[in-house]
């Protein structure tokens, strides 16, 4: 009995200490001199998180909090004045002209197939036909006579939004055979299925292909899918990754945006398979 | 003596509080789910979740039934495969295998139960799905989901059945032997009925795990929202739906995902209610 009692007491003590520490930490963070909160795109959040960590280490006393929730949350929060900076992983729409956008990187989406697939290039119409189920065999686009496995992204992902916008299709018109979450799962799915077609971030696909993964990025409308072509702005399926503010950014927000678009963070941008905005 | 009573009372108090807290957590989860899904539950008629064309929350169609069917099909398929295999394994360990083989076999099953679900999912995605794809594309399918789930719940049912069978009093078995029953007669007539409750509990535990399993199924089942017509059609389960879309959902979309969580919770509650009912009937 007494042993279990001691165990309980020890546990209670531990929790008391843990709670004490936590509240102390909170108090500390409140006393930090400056605090910046960013919300928005989950595509951008990991990159901005890394940039924020580097910024914090160069500016002691500054605390940057990065929260996701999607591009629309970023826009909503900036308009309401809840946060100083929002993250938006697409170009601003005409009805969003009240906001200031600062491009910190470019992201391209490439169509991938298995390396055994003889098809090298597709046009926008062909892809739209494949994804809406009008072409169901590879022979329809110059490949072998096998059934096409259409890999689509889950609803709500910004990559899907970009892809649908490019094809001018609604998601309910697409006839998928597999629905995936992240880029890694998409690449694994295509690797395991020589008849599959999917779309993922070009950077991630290039990286995997260079490491020997048997996937191929297709030419799209005659343009090679490469990080280089995304940088040059000639690849059709690309988007800017923006930090947005309402009105001219001031003070800490301005400092952070300048830092995030400076050459000091290019290595971080590349590590996330994005294309740095200002490489010159 | 007096001190012993005091500590007993203290411990009972602590245990009571602990038990109440545990029960409260379940209640809180339910309240939280209701609270988060309230925006759509109050503005949409419930029938929308049954009668809508499909599941496209961004285009305002919210049919959850294909995913409910996906959940039920994968789980029941896995149970159908796992129960006979597990019972056979448990009987083998307890009644048929020589001692050293039984120990080794049991260790192996225990090892299987310790493998994290994401490992099963990864194996499924890189090995099982391509294999099924060669046979009948696209590979990511109801069948793959069932096979992966089977492997995950097999150890649960085997180990609980083993424990229940091993706990059958020796007396009963010896009496049965004295009556001249064969080994199979003894198992069928004495051991299995005596261990029934334990075995059922194991099956229920496994069923609950199968219903709620997320990552492994997400990786192998294809996740297309539809009613499967064959074993080779992809399906999406309720749990996979939440995992796939939550990170990117806002507003109504997010609230509808909480509705699918609520539905999953109700499904599991119905399951445990059913078990309770069966128990009562048996004792009545």
Q: How confident is the model at residue A29 (pLDDT cuts 50, 70, 90)?
A: very low
In a domain, B121, yes or no: yes
State what percent of residues in chain A have pLDDT above 70: 87
Mean pLDDT of chain B: 90
Task: Name which of A179, A233, A160 is nearest B140 in CA terms.
Answer: A179
In a domain, B3, yes or no: no
Question: Contact B173/B186 with Cβ under 8 angstroms?
Answer: yes
- Say if residue B170's pLDDT is above 50: yes
What digits encode the pLDDT tens for the residues A190-199? Answer: 998 999 999 9
- Say if residue B283's pLDDT is above 70: no
Overall domain count for chain B: 1
Cis peptide before B138 (omega within 30 of 0): yes
What's the pLDDT at A276? 87
Q: How far is B269 from chain A (nearest CA, A)?
A: 28
In a domain, B48, yes or no: no
The residues near B205 (Cβ < 8 Å, ≥ 6 apart) are: B156, B160
* Cα A57-A63-A67 angle, rounded to 5 deg: 115
pTM of the model: 0.80
Is A192's CB within 8 Å of B133's CB?
A: yes
Q: How many CA atoms lie within 13 A of B76 on its CB side?
A: 9
What's the pLDDT at B156? 92
Q: Looking up tokens 């629309």, which residue turns up?
A: A72
Q: How far is A156 from chain B (nearest CA, A)?
A: 5
Task: Name which of B36, B256, B141 is nearest A192 in CA terms.
Answer: B141
* Cα B98-B100-B101 angle, rounded to 5 deg: 65
Q: How confident is the model at residue A111 (pLDDT cuts 50, 70, 90)?
A: very high
What's the pLDDT at B205? 87
A-chain residues near B253 (CB < 8 A): 155-156
Q: With the C-alpha atoms ordered B229, B230, B235, B239, is the resulting torsion angle positive or negative?
A: positive
Question: Contact A217/A209 with Cβ under 8 angstroms?
Answer: yes
Question: How confident is the model over A245-269, as a mean pLDDT?
Answer: 91
Domains of chain A: 32-104+241-276 (3.40.190.10), 107-232 (3.40.190.10)
Residues in chain A: 280
What digits encode the pLDDT tens for the residues B74-104? Answer: 999 999 999 999 999 999 999 999 999 999 9
**What is the C-alpha separation between A156 and B109, in angstroms, rounded?**
40
What's the pLDDT at B169? 92
What number is the ipTM of this complex?
0.80
In a domain, B217, yes or no: yes
Question: Contact B259/B38 with Cβ under 8 angstroms?
Answer: no
Question: How confident is the model over B53-57, as a mean pLDDT?
Answer: 89
Q: Which residues pair with B275 in a beta bridge?
A: none
- Say if residue A145's pLDDT is above 50: yes
Is B222's CB within 8 Å of A68's CB?
A: no
Q: How far is CA B104 from the centre of its chain?
A: 26
Quickly count: other Cβ atoms within 10 Å of residue B108's Cβ.
Answer: 11
Of B14, B140, B253, the CB nearest to A156: B253
Q: Which domain holds residue B143?
A: 55-283
Is B249's CB within 8 Å of A70's CB?
A: yes
Question: Contact A187/A215 with Cβ under 8 angstroms?
Answer: yes
Question: Contact B113/B78 with Cβ under 8 angstroms?
Answer: no
**What is the C-alpha separation between B280 and B209, in angstroms, rounded?**
24
CATH at B213: 1.10.3720.10
């Amino acid at each position: 009995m007494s042993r279990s009692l001691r165990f309980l007491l020890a546990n209670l003590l531990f929790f008391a200490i843990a709670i004490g520490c936590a509240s102390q930490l909170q108090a500390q963070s409140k006393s930090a001199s400056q605090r910046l909160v960013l919300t928005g795109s989950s595509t951008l959040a990991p990159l901005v998180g890394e940039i924020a960590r580097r910024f914090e280490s160069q500016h002691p006393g500054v605390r940057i909090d990065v929260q996701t929730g999607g591009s629309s949350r970023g826009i909503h929060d900036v308009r309401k004045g809840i946060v100083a900076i929002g993250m938006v992983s697409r170009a601003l729409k005409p009805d969003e002209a009240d906001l200031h956008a600062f491009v910190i990187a470019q992201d391209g989406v490439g169509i991938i197939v298995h390396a055994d697939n003889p098809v090298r290039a597709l046009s926008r119409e062909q892809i739209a036909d494949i994804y809406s189920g009008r072409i169901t065999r590879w022979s329809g686009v110059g490949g072998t006579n096998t059934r096409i496995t259409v890999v689509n992204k889950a609803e709500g992902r910004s990559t899907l939004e970009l892809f649908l916008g490019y094809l001018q299709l609604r998601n309910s018109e697409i006839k998928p055979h597999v629905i995936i979450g992240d880029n890694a799962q998409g690449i694994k799915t295509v690797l395991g299925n020589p008849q599959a077609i999917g779309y993922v971030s070009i950077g991630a696909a290039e990286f995997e292909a260079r490491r020997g993964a048997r996937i191929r990025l297709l030419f799209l409308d005659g343009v090679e899918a490469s990080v280089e072509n995304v940088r040059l702005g000639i690849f059709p399926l690309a988007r800017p990754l923006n930090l947005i503010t309402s009105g001219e950014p001031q003070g800490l927000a301005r400092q952070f945006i300048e830092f995030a678009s400076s050459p000091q963070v290019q290595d971080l941008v590349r590590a996330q398979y994005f294309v740095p905005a200002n490489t010159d | 003596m007096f001190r012993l009573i005091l500590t007993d009372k203290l411990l009972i108090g602590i245990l009571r509080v602990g038990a109440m807290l545990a029960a409260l957590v379940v209640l809180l989860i339910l309240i939280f789910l209701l609270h988060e899904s309230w925006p759509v539950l109050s503005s949409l008629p419930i029938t929308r979740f049954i009668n809508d064309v499909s599941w496209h929350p961004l285009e305002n169609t919210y049919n959850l039934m294909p995913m409910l069917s996906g959940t039920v099909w994968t789980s029941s398929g896995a149970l159908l495969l796992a129960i006979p295999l597990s019972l056979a394994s448990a009987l083998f360990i307890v009644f048929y295998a020589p001692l050293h083989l039984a120990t080794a076999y049991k260790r192996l099953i225990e090892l299987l139960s310790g493998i994290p679900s994401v490992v099963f999912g990864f194996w499924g995605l890189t090995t099982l799905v391509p294999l099924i794809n060669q046979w009948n594309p696209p590979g990511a399918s109801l069948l793959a989901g069932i096979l992966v789930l089977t492997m995950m719940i097999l150890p649960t049912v085997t180990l609980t059945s083993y424990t229940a069978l091993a706990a059958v009093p020796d007396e009963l078995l010896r009496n049965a032997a004295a009556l001249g029953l064969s080994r199979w007669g003894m198992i069928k007539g004495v051991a299995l009925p005596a261990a029934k409750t334990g075995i059922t509990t194991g099956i229920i535990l496994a069923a609950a795990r199968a219903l709620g399993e997320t990552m492994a199924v997400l990786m192998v089942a294809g996740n297309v929202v539809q009613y499967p017509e064959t074993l080779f059609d992809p399906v999406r389960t309720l749990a996979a739906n939440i995992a796939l879309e939550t990170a990117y959902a806002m507003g109504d979309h997010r609230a509808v995902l909480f509705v699918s969580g609520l539905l999953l919770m109700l499904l599991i509650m119905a399951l445990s209610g059913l078990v309770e009912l069966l128990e009562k009937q048996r004792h009545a």
